[in-house]
Structure 1
Amino acid sequence: MRVTVSELDICLEINGKCSSKALLSRYITDSLSMKMVLAFFQEKYISVENFAKQHHVSYSVAYKVLQRLKRNLKKYQIFFEKRKLTGNPKNIRLFLYNLFNSTEISFVELYTLPIIIKTEKMLKDLKQYYPLSAYEKKKLFHFLAINLLAEQADSLDIASNQSLFFSDIGFYHLKGVLGEKSVIFINKTLSWLYLHDKLDQKYLRKNEDETIEWLNERFIESFENQFNLLRGETSQLIRRELTKIHFKLLHYTINKADEFPLDVSFFRENYPAFYCYLIEYINDLTSKRKELLQDKFFLFFSYLLLLINHIPIQLISEPVKIIIDFSYGAAYNQFIKKNLSLYINLNTEVIEAGKPEFPDVIITNRNNLYEESASQVVVWLDPPRAVDWGNLTKILLTIQEEKYKDSKIDKQIDDFPEEIIDRIE
């Protein structure tokens, strides 16, 4: 991304090196709200007057910043009192973790030297056993540092059933890696590694949480009733991934929507069957379990990514049947067929012309040849351009969505995304 400035406009030119989120990160980093939170986090806050003087703003501006923070964080039981952050310890940790990961503030500006040294050693030891991306290293550093501070303040806690997820093998392995004595700290770190797909199955116990098991079974039963039975390894994999989703649902209250995109149009256009099914499922689930209403966004995208990543589209939707009929003969038709599988990530089936099967789409370079056909006729140039493939994709997606809706004709599909996007501020 490159910023260009003229007399009238400021333009963002996309060049693939960074996104517009860089501006948001910079905005948060430089904001007065961030500086106010840091003052309380580091217990350096003295008064509104002192803060205003330090940051060269008026008293009224500093006061408004503090009041806005108090108002927005009160619903998470986080308070600005006695010159430090107080309230729900778990929510405070999750809030700081999300906030620090969204900025470019250096570790040195956030933490004391002893915390940095201890965290860096832990991170170095963990990297020997668990591969970490650059962003995962940043996230894990903040996670470890914030939990070490909580442990020092004797405020580190964990739900009793959360630690039951991990086997003794996993616990003692990580205890040896970290060199930590705190049972809670070790289990918290196991939780982070689990949610980031770093733990082998031998480090996990069989799930016995009743709420998670109920949510798992409900989803699987609904999916199998709607589509097909999940068999063998696929069934086991889906169950494991559902357990992870519902583990996060229960134990990570204010960061469940972390990093999910707001623009749902891509998913609706490219995965209409999954999208439409999940709209119905989530609405039905939350109508019966009102306490999950605030988690609709998280559940929708978690389930959607689960299905996209692990369920073949052929399992849930009828194929869009296509005839390819170009004037250059069988070899050219075969060329188009081969490229169809490369360009189009949809459930399609190429059928032979003249067969009794009715095609949904006919792709050809012949004008006026299929005028009387009831099928959707797509006429291309030779060879097809990128715009031709793009238009074909739109047509196939529309047909696939109509096929799904035809199978669900008695059910009303609401405009789900506009209803549910109520993200954490």
Structure 2
Amino acid sequence: MDFLLLDDRTNLKLSIIRKLEQQYSFSERKDVLCEELNISQYLLERSVTEINEDLKQFELIDDMELVEQSSEIILFQDAQVSSSVVEEKYLKDSLEFTLLQTIFFNQFTSIKKYGEKHGMSRTVVYKIVDRIRKELAQYEIKLSKNFQLVGNEWKIRQYFNMLYYRIYKDSDELYNQSDILAVQELFSEIKLYCEEVNTLYLFKHYLLITLERVKRKQHYFLPNSFKSVEFDQKNKIYQTVAQWSERTLKGTNREIEVEIRGIINQLSVYRLEFCDLENDVVTEYTERLKQQFQMNMQLSEIGPEFCTSVKMTIYQHQFITPLIDLTLRAIDLEFFHERYPIIFEMCHTFIYQLKEDEFKFSKKSLFFNLLLVLSQQYDEETDKNTINIYVNFTQGEKYNRFIKNQIQIFDSFSIHFQPVIRPDTDLIVSDYLPQVTFSARNLIWLAPPRASDWRNFGNEIVRINRELQLNKKRK
């Protein structure tokens, strides 16, 4: 899905920052960037100038800056800032998001008045509205002639829930103060039974959006096809939400009843007792994924039954957060590909075989969250593949111990240091080539090692780990 609340120019600037951010040296040659982004050098240099101007406007220039140096672009970046922070600033500042937010809060009157207020021509406002219409149309949401949000109320709420969470995270700065106080009242009551409620930011945005929509008499009814757990009305959290809803929400008994179910459903993102894990749809997808893993003998340690977390992940992405991909920025899954190659391939195959309309707006998040759940389960139930390393430098044993201690930072891998080179040695790290007949891979380092030496070491560890997982485990 295209994200149309950021224009092409802004997306290009974010892509430049992300490309540099992913580089080991935070720098890249101009010609390489131009080729990868399919742009001219003139456009690259102009974009770099604009990025720095934007960073000044966002008051981030002391923490991040792009510098042209001969044939390279270098990113200077403090630990307190990243491309994600810059993206949030761009989004809040975008003409599309600003106008859409005005529509959501029912403050948009006409194109003429909006243009006059913001110093824009009608043509410019029409173009912004057109991009918003295209953005919303992807989720079957429309704008009426008088600029009201029209469509499935559940999708409308899901869309803005994900969008506002993506931008504002734990902040409630955009909402009405009386609504904020009402939600804080509910949270203080729920906290007696759910200590972590104050950190449930996605749920908080949903409640605030619900209050805004109900205020405008925009209630919703769960679709007939929706399958959820039969809530235990004796559950203390359920009772608390029900009592709060009856006090706070206006509507018929049926409307308030459905709103209560909607609120409890949103809590199932965090609370297992509100998930229907025996749902037929969940069972079907779980079986599909299980079949992928059963085809690989190397994953037999995970066991015949998938963990509850897998079912919960599928349930939530199908029923509770179907538009959650809206919250995603650019994510790099290379760590999982390197550390858990078989799990990665099986999950990738599972996602690839889904039809276009299956998890239509949550495929990326489902892929990522399945990797999280299954990699954790793999570590808990499976012994790590041990990588045997022989370290020997001409500086002597004290220096060897120093290098071994530094290597231990790769703690996501199981590394064993061997006192001598053996047939099962996977890697030799030294400052010379030992005279051995075994086929172990050699890495020649300077003393002390350079950044490039560590990079080469990391690449070798990843390669060895992959081979050990793909082959039968060493006895």
Normalised-by-shorter TM-score class: 0.7 to 0.9
Cα distance change on mapping 1:222 and 1:109 into 2, 3 Å: closer
Aligned residue identity for 1:189:
I
Show the 5 A alignment for 1:126-165: 126-132=190-196, 136=199, 138-152=201-215, 153-159=217-223, 161-164=226-229
Aligned residue identity for 1:56:
G
Show the 5 A alignment for 1:66-215: 66-81=129-144, 82-104=146-168, 107=172, 109-111=174-176, 113-132=177-196, 136=199, 138-152=201-215, 153-159=217-223, 161-164=226-229, 166-170=231-235, 172-176=236-240, 179-181=244-246, 182-195=256-269, 197=270, 199=271, 203-204=273-274, 207-215=277-285
For structure 1, which runs of at least 5 residues remain unmatched after alignment?
408-425
Aligned residue for 2:289?
219
Q: Equivalents in 2 of 1:390, 1:209: separation in Å?
A: 46
Select which of 114, 126, 138 maps to 1:63: 126
Select which of 302, 321, 325 maps to 2:369: 302
Select which of 466, 470, 474 maps to 1:401: 466
Q: Does 1:244 align with 2:312?
A: yes
Count of aligned residue pairs for this structure pair: 392
SS for the counterpart of 1:321 is strand
Aligned residue identity for 2:101:
L
Aligned residue for 1:414?
none
Deviation at 1:62, TM superposition (A): 0.2
Aligned residue identity for 2:364:
F
Q: Does 1:258 align with 2:323?
A: no
Q: Equivalents in 2 of 1:317, 1:282: separation in Å?
A: 26
Q: Equivalents in 1 of 2:463, 2:147: separation in Å?
A: 57
Deviation at 1:278, TM superposition (A): 2.8
Aligned residue identity for 2:457:
L
Cα distance change on mapping 1:128 and 1:27 into 2, 3 Å: farther
Alignment RMSD: 3.8
Q: Equivalents in 1 of 2:410, 2:108: separation in Å?
A: 57
Aligned residue for 1:419?
none
Select which of 335, 358, 366 maps to 2:424: 358
For structure 2, which runs of at least 5 residues remain unmatched after alignment?
1-54, 247-255
Aligned residue for 1:49?
112
Q: Equivalents in 1 of 2:66, 2:81: separation in Å?
A: 21
Q: Does 1:36 align with 2:99?
A: yes
Higher mean C-alpha deviation, range 316-325 or range 389-398 = 316-325
TM-score (norm 2): 0.70
Identity %: 20
Q: Report if aligned partners of 2:427, 2:443 keep a CA contact under 8 Å in 1.
A: yes
Q: Report if aligned partners of 1:324, 1:362 keep a CA contact under 8 Å in 2.
A: yes
Higher mean C-alpha deviation, range 139-148 or range 184-193 = 184-193
Deviation at 1:95, TM superposition (A): 1.4
Q: Equivalents in 2 of 1:297, 1:6: separation in Å?
A: 30
Q: Equivalents in 2 of 1:333, 1:108: separation in Å?
A: 55
Cα distance change on mapping 1:275 and 1:329 into 2, 3 Å: same
Higher mean C-alpha deviation, range 7-16 or range 44-53 = 7-16
Aligned residue identity for 1:45:
F
Select which of 442, 449, 453 maps to 1:377: 442
SS for the counterpart of 2:299 is coil
Q: Report if aligned partners of 1:123, 1:140 keep a CA contact under 8 Å in 2.
A: no
Aligned residue for 1:322?
389
Q: Equivalents in 2 of 1:277, 1:317: separation in Å?
A: 19
Higher mean C-alpha deviation, range 37-46 or range 175-184 = 175-184
Q: Report if aligned partners of 2:228, 2:276 keep a CA contact under 8 Å in 1.
A: no
